[in-house]
Structure 1
């Protein structure tokens, strides 16, 4: 566990799921920069070539309705809860995230700091935002589309006096990022870079005319993809390759296993659900479970499934940490395209948990099919876990692997 030191106290923070050998912190310099600014210990000095409006010169009032969007592991929310604790407040503290893991990390970090259950209201990216926001704090997401959707959803609650501050690493804040803040909320400037992080300051213009949000976005799949050829895929903002089918999934769809009978199939890390939907169409007797830690991904998978499969076809849509909610030895087939990064950090920790969770959930004789970039070396991990691993097929970039639980 690492400790974050702020003007409001010191906090022991972890990611979720907590691992005793975890070396990655639950915050970074962008979070620290924003917290220093909110405490009034670091000014919002703007870049020389930006508009003259440099934002407030003093720490903002945090007693009103404060909304934190995109907090990675709950560091911002935990520190703000401590700041408001014991003081007079006129509005709630709300965290909005698209990540189940973020919510769980936030809950754990708040409990560790002694927070009461009602101190923070936790909302997902698919929930309706609060009707009024006095302070809006945004951790810039990796996905520009996700930021666009978030700003459109939050804009009606922002008023003329709302303090809007964003934060992110220098590599995360681009001209297109600032343009979205400007177009949807109001005139926007940036701070100088400090420890490779910047702040974004926006002066709200509540009366401006905004184009409607383009999300969710749908597109038709190309021909040659078996049961899903020409089918429509639904994507909420932030889903991987939300505007087109990615080449890895396309490759997997060409080589899906042919199964029959009333099997339990899991689309693990389901994204928009196209893989699980393809399996359901190919084998109507199968029971498919779609699992992801993204609220938007699970919503996209359900929308894709319902749009393409008979109304009476049953399926489960699970928001959670890999297969932790699936009973042991209850699954016949797991299909998985694991991520190899978490936010800006490259790591195989998520893939390893997906593989080990799959082994626990599979029945004897059950199979895990994995697609990944050839250079990631997933076959080594699968052999260590399952005692076997074979290459189903490959091309110059991707490989599909099959491991069987003995």
Structure 2
């Protein structure tokens, strides 16, 4: 892995988190990071005396570079925050130089300079621009950066709608900058959370902007729900809904099994907040049987959860981190599940049939059973022995 960023006669040592699971060809910054750093350094005066806010800094490169300005740092990703903390430390930058906010905690202070990486999820960008309305004035400078193919006319229209006049730079190394001049008019409210309903039973499912399957029940979860009865007996068990999203799987389990405890885990703050809201909205009486954790898979699980005797782990692993296609998250989920399960406990996975999950599970657990399959998905079960 390339860990050395040299730019404008400065050098930073940067890694992705968790470092030991990353592909050797990856690095912790991209051309958009370099482009926005170069532009700010060459065009923004008196930088250290401005209130700087950084959004969606995937691995902490912007926080490290602009640490002297004591920036506010906002992200929906627990993993991004851990990357940022590691990179601050290894570049001998005090962690106190950065003020961290998650995506569900309002930032009240005004911003003079906003540096924003364009997120993959358009809804998250929209929510962040809405949130920024309360923090910007006509004197605020807003600069966004991203891969050129992520910056569409619709992207620019969001900046225009919520903040003000917007222009773009020329493309450089397939990256582009967006410049926005806020008007200071705060006339738009948020369309989020998105709400939809399940059938039998009818649950109201509320989804904040960055939640996976925000607009409807995703087909992987639907397939898992169809076959829950084929899984191990969940009565009076402790179940982890790993990568819980809006929490719909755990919600069904709580409804069907009176004494079962469910731990909802996701690396997205918005996902865990949505899952908790959905439990309290639909099954408030089950709240004592639940726990909600924002985490990188199941890192230090026994220190973070009030329920530690785990019988079943359910997961639908993502196969991307930021914009990179990867299976390292699935592998970490599988390993972490094995480490927290009691002997005889089960990991239940739903995934696309083309993924090599059966062999991975057999290698790790020594066994793997196909519970159900269709043209797109397989549900697999592995038992800790």
| Cα distance, 1:342–1:312 mapped onto 2, change above 3 Å | closer
| Cα distance, 1:258–1:367 mapped onto 2, change above 3 Å | closer
Deviation by residue 1:41-92 (Cα, 9 ceiling, x = unmatched): xxxxxxxxxxxxxxxxx334422110000001101111111xx2xxxx6xx4
Gaps of 5+ in 2: none
Higher helix share: 2
For 2:278 and 2:150, locate their aligned partners in 1 and report how far apart those are by CA, in whole Å.
Answer: 30
Q: Which residue of 2 aligns with 1:95?
A: 73
Deviation by residue 1:127-156 (Cα, 9 ceiling, x = unmatched): 111420000011000111000111111111
1:261 partnered with 2:261: no
Give 1:20 deviation, angstroms: 7.3
Q: Which residue of 2 aligns with 1:43?
A: none
| Cα pair 2:127 2:209 within 8 Å, conserved | yes
2:208 aligned residue (236, 245, 262): 236
Name the SS of the counterpart of 2:143 in structure 1: strand
Q: Which residue of 2 aligns with 1:295?
A: 269
TM-score of the two chains, using structure 1 as the length reference: 0.89
> How many residues are paired up?
375
Flag as ranges the 4+ runs of structure 1 deviating above 6 A: none
| Cα pair 2:311 2:346 within 8 Å, conserved | yes
Which aligned pairs between 1:126-141 and structure 2 lie closer than 5 A? Answer: 126-141=104-119
For 1:95 and 1:22, locate their aligned partners in 2 and report how far apart those are by CA, in whole Å.
Answer: 26
1:325 partnered with 2:300: yes
Q: Which residue of 2 aligns with 1:365?
A: 344
| Cα pair 2:31 2:175 within 8 Å, conserved | yes
Q: Which residue of 2 aligns with 1:44?
A: none
1:279 partnered with 2:257: no
For 1:360 and 1:250, locate their aligned partners in 2 and report how far apart those are by CA, in whole Å.
Answer: 27
For 1:74 and 1:8, locate their aligned partners in 2 and report how far apart those are by CA, in whole Å.
Answer: 19
| Cα pair 2:361 2:382 within 8 Å, conserved | yes
Name the SS of the counterpart of 2:344 in structure 1: strand
Give 1:311 deviation, angstroms: 2.5
For 1:186 and 1:107, locate their aligned partners in 2 and report how far apart those are by CA, in whole Å.
Answer: 33
| Cα pair 1:60 1:163 within 8 Å, conserved | no
1:216 partnered with 2:216: no
Gaps of 5+ in 1: 41-57
For 1:119 and 1:310, locate their aligned partners in 2 and report how far apart those are by CA, in whole Å.
Answer: 40
